[in-house]
Amino acid sequence: MAERFRLTLAQLNPTTGALAENAAKARAAWDEGRRAGADMVALPEMFLTGYQVQDLVLKPAFTADAMAHVEALARDCAQGPALGIGAPFAAHGHLYNAYYICQNGAVAARIFKHHLPNDGVFDEMRVYDSGPINGPYAVGPLRIGTPICEDAWFEDVAEALAETGAEILLVPNGSPYYRDKFDRRLSIMVARVVETGLPLVYLNLVGGQDDQVFDGGSFVLNPGGQLAVKMPVFDEALTHVDFTRTPQGWRAETGARAVHPDAWEQDYRAMVAALGDYLRKSGFSRVLLGLSGGVDSALVAAIAADAIGSENVRCVMLPSEYTSAASLEDAAAVARALGCRLDEVPIDGPRAAVAEALAPLFAGTAPDVTEENIQSRLRGLILMALSNKFGEMLLTTGNKSEVAVGYATIYGDMAGGYNPIKDLYKTRVFETCRWRNANHRDWMQGPAGEVIPPRVIDKPPSAELRADQKDEDSLPPYPVLDRILQGLIDNEKSVADLVAGGFDRETVQKVERLIHLSEYKRFQSAPGARLTPRAFWLDRRYPIVNRWRDPT
């Protein structure tokens, strides 16, 4: 009879800092693996602490507590399969991102991450020491090499493990989502398999943490790059993978291969998952938002309903004299279609009171954007009052186009705790609304069908802070603006590059100026779901005070 090895992959969602809760989830996964006859149960990178812990791991008491939880897990999981789990390790003045192998009631091996990512959302060089390249460890009949996440993006760690006797590669990851990232992961892991000739297991986290969403999508490759197992994206899952020793070495038996949805659905799922986990992990069960009758707030309301259920979403219409009858009707239609509560709080009275209070100081000046912003800030004040009174987190509703050029009022419509569409350009907002109207999935807690009336999507965008106002009074048309923003922000192109591509120089320079002038607003803005490799926050770190402008 051929030798066999069963590896249980636990693609699970930890909560950062919840050590006991995460340990309990690991123990439950181990129990399920034991019942299934597993030889080893594996959890992802830094699962015990959650990921990323950032500077929290620099607190000695936290790291000591995490290490103590690993030791307790090892004792609790003595009679059964080995357990692999990610957690920090500190000793002799060094701190490592580590992967622990627990067997027979003790920690049998510790693997230290060698390549520390220092780009995008990662700055692990700030907090961890680079560990040596470890050799493989034995579990039953199998010698396993474990490159930790970034280690597998380089040739050297996997090659060293193969040369020192590893028979399969187990890669635990905390790899956050961005659009189309699965294909990039897969191509890099195929390269490691081709170079080493070894089967490879890619095990990833799921769940939201602040702005990042870990999308799972774990998989197993056999030599030659053949896909043996493919796990779902965004869902927690346990999968038992059976390996058999053949004359050519160990091979994974073919198992379930999940079909992943397209980029539109994955983006939407990421926004829903990010919001749902942000609320659950921070202790909120209800939200509110200002529902203006516009497309952005309508999409945020839909995301919120899908994340936590329509009954937990309060929408508030805050009309002024500039609010059109159509906007009132559209807001009501969105709330009705979603099944959300809709309150109406007119701001004319508070606005008149503020105008009266400021009249002596404003005497002799002409009305301008100041008066427009007072309206927005009164709305923010009222929404924050409702948030405080009823314990509902306020959601902000600015898309990436607006966030980029500062087309939002600080302490006004920017007030709030989370922004689900922060990394979604306006043109994608329109298409995402259309996608949601045409699609419903089991993971959506909101209703099926057309939840955003087409009139909301199709009408010209307006902040409605003055008579007959349209966004295009101040900004280029969104199809033009978004292409310029993608060039300047996502691709770091120069003004000259974009002009050479056919854009008007004056328009590009205006947009570039607005991006730089708005840095202080973004610095104070709410976090939001990361959908691209150039999301605002950790992906793009610019100085707030910056006098440089592109001279080209």
Instruction: List, by residue number, the catalytic residues.
Output: 45, 113, 149
DSSP element (H, E) containing 337: helix 325-338
Does 391 appear as a known binding residue?
Answer: no
The letter for the amino acid at 256 is: A
Strands 168-173, 142-145: pairing kind: parallel
| Bridge partners of residue 115, in order along the sequence | none
| 297 annotated ligand-binding residue | yes
- Is 401 one of the annotated binding-site residues? no
Instruction: Give 3-state DSSP helix, strand, coil % of the chain, rounded to 5.
Output: 40, 20, 40
Establish whether 296 is an annotated binding residue.
yes
Number of H helices, E strands in the chain: 16, 19
> Is 373 labelled a binding residue?
yes
170 near 278, Cβ under 8 Å? Answer: no
Q: How many CB atoms lie within 10 A of CB 494?
A: 15
- The response to whether 181 counts as a known ligand-binding position is yes
Task: Count CB atoms within 10 A of the CB of residue 91.
Answer: 9
Which amino acid is located at 342 in the chain?
L
- Please tell me whether 290 is known to bind a ligand: yes
CA 451, chain centre distance (Å): 24
Distances (CA, A) of 293 to 94, 222, 335, 397: 55, 52, 10, 12
Q: Please indicate if the annotation marks 175 as binding a ligand.
A: yes
Token pair, residue 56, equals 């929290």
The response to whether 295 counts as a known ligand-binding position is yes
Ligand-binding annotation for 376, yes or no, is: no
Q: Are 506 and 530 in contact (CB under 8 A)?
A: no
Task: Calculate the dihedral angle through the C-alpha atoms of 172, 178, 180, 185, rounding to the nearest 10 degrees.
Answer: -20
Q: Give the C-alpha separation, 249 to 520, whole Å.
A: 57
493 annotated binding-site participant: no
| 389 annotated as belonging to a binding site for a ligand | no
Residue ranges for the binding site for ATP? 290-297, 397
Residue ranges for the binding site for L-glutamine? 175, 181
Residue ranges for the binding site? 175, 181, 290-297, 373, 397, 402, 521
Residue ranges for the binding site for deamido-NAD(+)? 373, 402, 521
